[in-house]
Structure 1
Amino acid sequence: MRLLIKNGTIVNNDNTQKANVLIENDKIIDIINHEDVTVDETINAEGMLIVPGLIDMHVHFRDPGYEYKDDLESGSKAAVAGGVTTCLPMANTNPLNDNRSITEAMIAKSKNIGLIDLLPIGAISKGFKGESIVEMGDMIEAGAVAFSDDGLPVTDSSVMRSALEYASSFNSFVISHSEDCCLAHRGVMNEGEISTILGLKGMPSEKEEIMVARDMLLAKLTGGHIHIAHVSSEWSLKLIELAKKEGINVTCEVAPHHFSFTDKKLLTYDTNYKMSPPLRSQRDMEAMREGLKNGLVDVIATDHAPHHSDEKFVEFEKAPFGILGLQTLVPLTLKLVEDDVISLNKMVELTSYKPAKLLKLENKGKIDKGMLADIAIIDPNLEYIYDDNLNKSKSKNSPLLYEKLKGAAVYTIKSGNIVYKFPECITK
């Protein structure tokens, strides 16, 4: 199978060029400035961006155990519809991904579906109890790439220390869900003016910052790599900046909802804006955008967290935390480009190149000769309604559903195969 992508603009983290991409089987075999080649299929990408397939380091596919919300198939379909070709699902499934058999089953099922590369994140602690760490070496051998009890913090510092030490010995890393659960227990949104107006129990940003500080100090102690998930607070970024200056092995991610929205969105009591960590103040949101701009933030990750409509259509306090994210990643990140917060090259760095580097995926993250043909073709000017026809998740918990969006992946190519076309797309 030979495929030519012509007339598009290739965007990598460090360069942009108008050229054609020649693919054979699962590899990019050449970048050319002509069309004089024999191919089986051609995609005309005139006016579009050709970028490396996006890598989402933080998703929840709810499989096994909660397949009524999403499963590996619907999650994979949502991923490729968002230009994402590699996903790292968190371990809070049922049963938990805290042993090699679950890791192997997830990978095998994903390979059978054949849409994305699935790189599971194993639990840190057995049973998510925070008492003893999992068999990390066994799980890495099975295909796990990192470890997190995401959804719950590891409250015992000695357990987190052991996790960092063991993960480091296997050339892996730990992802921290930074939350001090004893502070503002049962909070449902950011603590501040808006929570006071709404009469809802708030969660101060210190609830996140305390655990960010602890985990970075443990990384200092152990020399292990700590990755801070879904950063939402200005002071969390200040602490991360200090740690990086001190040479502590820390990286971090920010989710699109935290650089796009503030807690003012909750004035409507829309539970689709309820998430953990919560939407915070304008100042916090601006800090996330500045962190993306100046390079302090390493990765954009969606924290895609599907929930059934019946679970969200309840009183605000009773609704679960979480928001869909895979299919709104591109339009929300392109809005940063439109607002001159980041460049297109920086967008590729944050969504593909840097995740590939952190995960040591040498054949991903760039459009170049010899690289794996994982590619998203993005139309940055396409305007559309994100409706039920486009939404590939089983769930609908996005406040952007039925809204007009701008920018989308119109083709997604995985290992040389076209795995998604935007409904209006045709090959020429």
Structure 2
Amino acid sequence: MVDLAIRNGSVVTVDGVVHADVAIEEGRVVAIGSSVPDARVTIDAAGAWVGPAFVDLHTHLREPGQEWKEDIESGSHAAAAGGYGAIVAMPNTDPAIDTGALAHFVADRGRRIGLVDVVPAGAITMGRQGATMAHIDDLWAAGVRMFTDDGDMVANAAVLRTAMEYIAALGGVVAQHAVDPSLSAAGFMHEGAVSSRLGMYGIPREADDIAIARDLALVALTGVRYHVQHVSTAGGVDLIRSARGLGLPVTAEVTPHHLAFTHDHVATTDPDYKMMPPLRDPSDRDALTAGLSDGTIDAVATDHAPHAALEKEVPFEDAPNGVIGLEWAASIVNEHLALDVTCFFDRMSTRPAQIAGIPDHGELLHDGSVANIVVFDPARTWTPSTSASRSRNAPYLGMELTGVVDATVLRGVVTHRRRTRDS
């Protein structure tokens, strides 16, 4: 008898998608086939995909310092409910994760909670102030492999060049919040017809495009692995595609909300649609969808950004940017893109794990693979009414979504389970 069996699913394996059962013992897959042993726990995956647990490159857990919005425990619960086995925690905490000690704190908290592997990203500059390089060696020794000042762009090209050279020598990744602050600081939403109608200052596409273009020149100069966070414009997609064609080591992510919504939704002035970069024109959304489908954009990343109700329940202009997304990201991708099962897991699991260098995650299933697994039903619908997060800043609440995470497994342990009829 094995510890866990997942039966009757469409299993995403190294040899393709097969209708089979999966047996798990001592945290690893021990058999995939039609006659696996009996198990102490069984999950019925009829109608569902069984593949590598999702990996999020872009999660704000708010701990330390902003625990009224979210903490590592509540964020871990939300991640497990969304099918995630690993999440990369952004360093825009208070204090910022700019030392090895703080990176150890975040990783150790996640390890003790045990619902998801919490992988800290480190700040590029001290305090994320953009002036002095952070303790990169110290962060590297603590296991940090991705560096970002996310929430702010490293605007000083000389500072960024130095950091890129240093991080390139170590083999790390520079991830950039590529939105030029000189073009975005005064704006509240996408610059276009809707902003004009509402009389709000807008943020032009060029805020993103100029930032990406400058950084790509620095990538060519330094050779660093470079990751563009939350791409939002058609121009950004074109720049990334061209850089790939030149052989530059560039990867990119897109958020579920930039795939699902446009600036037309901001016409309601609901603060839950306020984010950075802003929701843009439908033509930009079409370009993002095409870029994710053809592989120009590597991964879906949630940019899960919790804010307390008292912060969001204010006039649109006064509200902070951000939306939570861990629990329904897979549903949004499933509903808005016609990805086949293999491509779906590539963008949600495999490529994110490869970009962040997270071992034992994103692997297509095979005998002996670590049992970090999600069971995802692409056809079932659900309507989220609450969240495991401490915050509720989500336009998805009350929307009917297609695609349900039935179960999440981390190293053979079930961390989330939805179906009540399972034995």
TM-score strictly above 0.5: yes
| Counterpart Cα distance in 2 of 1:79 and 1:229 | 19
1:239-276 Cα deviation digits (max 9, x unpaired):
11111111111110011111111100011111101000
The answer as to whether partners of 2:48 and 2:377 remain within 8 angstroms in 1 is yes
**Map of 2:420 onto structure 1:** 425
Deviates more, 1:46-55 or 1:133-142: 133-142
- Cα distance in 2, alignment partners of residues 184 and 54 from structure 1: 32
Aligned match of 2:406:
410
The reply to whether residue 395 of structure 1 matches residue 395 of structure 2 is no
Contact 2:237 2:291 (8 Å CA) reproduced: yes
**Relative to structure 2, which stretch is displaced further, 232-241 or 9-18?**
9-18
Residues in 1 aligned to 2:150 and 2:128: alpha-carbon distance in whole angstroms: 9
Distance 2:125 2:356 in 1: 21
Alignment of 1:352 onto 2:349 = yes
Query: Which residue is 2:340 aligned to?
Result: 343
Question: Within 5 A, what are the aligned runs for 1:75-224?
Answer: 75-224=75-224
Runs of 4+ in 1 over 4 A off after TM superposition: none
Contact 1:306 1:396 in 2 (8 A): yes
Separation in structure 1 between the aligned mates of residue 184 and residue 414 of structure 2, nearest angstrom:
48
- Taking a change above 3 Å as real, the CA distance of residues 395 and 14 of structure 1, as seen in their structure-2 partners, is farther
2:372 matched residue in structure 1 = 374
User: Residue in 2 aligned with 1:24?
Assistant: 25
CA distance in 2, matches of 1:12, 1:209: 38
Deviation at 1:49, TM superposition (A): 1.1
Paired with 2:138 and 2:280, the residues of 1 have a C-alpha distance of 39
280-289 vs 243-252, which moves further = 243-252
Cα distance in 2 for residues equivalent to 1:289 and 1:85: 25
Is the Cα contact below 8 Å between 1:12 and 1:349 reproduced in 2? no
Separation in 2, partners of 1:239, 1:228: 11
Matches within 5 A, 1:1-40: 2-12=3-13, 15-35=16-36, 37-40=37-40
Q: CA contact under 8 A between 1:263 and 1:280: conserved in structure 2? A: yes
CA distance in 1, matches of 2:420, 2:15: 29
Structure 1 residues 217 and 14: CA distance shift in structure 2, 3 A: farther
Q: TM-score scaled to structure 2, two decimals?
A: 0.97
| CA distance in 2 between partners of 1:207 and 1:99 (Å) | 30
Cα distance 1:347–1:26, how it changes in 2: closer, same or farther (>3 A)?
A: same
Q: CA deviation at 1:14?
A: 7.2
Change beyond 3 A, Cα 1:311–1:12: farther
Structure 1 portions without partners, runs of 5+: none
Between the aligned partners of 1:162 and 1:27, the Cα distance in structure 2 is 42
8 A contact 2:49–2:341 mirrored in 1: no
1:410–1:425: 8 Å Cα contact kept in structure 2? no
User: C-alpha displacement at 1:143, in angstroms?
Assistant: 2.1
Q: Distance in 2 between matches of 1:326 and 1:306?
A: 10
How far off its partner does 1:39 sit? 2.3
What CA distance in whole angstroms lies between the structure 2 residues aligned with 1:185 and 1:395? 25
The aligned length equals 421
- The root-mean-square deviation of aligned C-alpha atoms, in Å, is 1.3
Unmatched 5+ residue regions in structure 2?
A: none
**Whole-Å Cα distance in 2 between the matches of residues 288 and 220 of structure 1?**
24
User: Are 2:10 and 1:44 equivalent residues in the alignment?
Assistant: no
State the identity as a percent.
36
